[in-house]
Amino acid sequence: MSETRVKIRIGVLAIQGAFFEHRAALLKAANDLTLSKETEIEVVDVREPDELVELDGLILPGGESTTMSLFLQASNFEEVLKEWIAAKENQRVVWGTCAGLILLSNDIEGQKEGGQSKIGGIDVTTSRNFFGRQVNSFEANVSLHNKFLAEYHSNSSNGFSDGSIDDGYHGVFIRAPAVVSVNNPKVEVLATITVPQREEPVVVGVVQDNLIATAFHPELTEDARWHAYFLRQILEKINPAKN
């Protein structure tokens, strides 16, 4: 008798940002990891609170963080989303990119007057416009501090090559935030970037429990390692014995 196929349902918050690109990158990552033989992956757009039902993972894409938080407040999405994340003993995985990092941070620097709504959950302090405005957007090498991410190669038939390490990643930063303080030992630093005139590397990727956040946009590159990492985290929550 053949094994039962694992079904994963992933949502992408389709308010702003490159949600179509996230969908394509997820499917590419699934192919790289050869998940298609054992895992059925469905990716859906999410615009209403009731569309969170039955999701195993959710991506909060880039965009304007204030606009996104206002939308979440107006539709009562924010409270529903917080409850959804906390349910099932943190088995649901959420990944925020750029503005998503801001929304998932417990503390935010550079907020607009009156403060900013947030989801929270990652015990870091994030600066909203750390790298400047839209005109200061850039691309740069990102150092990876996670074994899975460093060993992953998208051009391989199974996502990995001969075990060689590639701890550099080409990051796309668009009006990007950055983590200026890690406030809990449970937070794992996944990625940093070297910035001129700063002694210490700047943190641009973190994970805490079931929450992942990056200051850059992996969906805008051909390298699917971050989406593969996200899928792997979901699989480990669903079936820890197999992973």
Q: Alpha helix (H) ranges present in the chain?
A: 19-32, 65-74, 77-86, 99-104, 147-151, 225-238
Task: Point out the catalytic residue in the list 78, 98, 151, 227.
Answer: 98
Q: What six digits make up the tokens of 193?
A: 């970037």
Known binding-site positions for L-glutamine: 63-65, 128, 174-175
Q: What six digits make up the tokens of 43?
A: 């990716």
Distance from the Cα of residue 203 to its chain's centroid:
14
CB-based contact 87:133 (threshold 8 Å):
no
The whole-angstrom separation of Cα 227 and Cα 186 is: 22
The whole-angstrom separation of Cα 25 and Cα 36 is: 14
Task: Point out the catalytic residue in the list 78, 151, 217, 227.
Answer: 217
Indicate if 78 belongs to the active site: no
- Which residues belong to the active site? 98, 217, 219
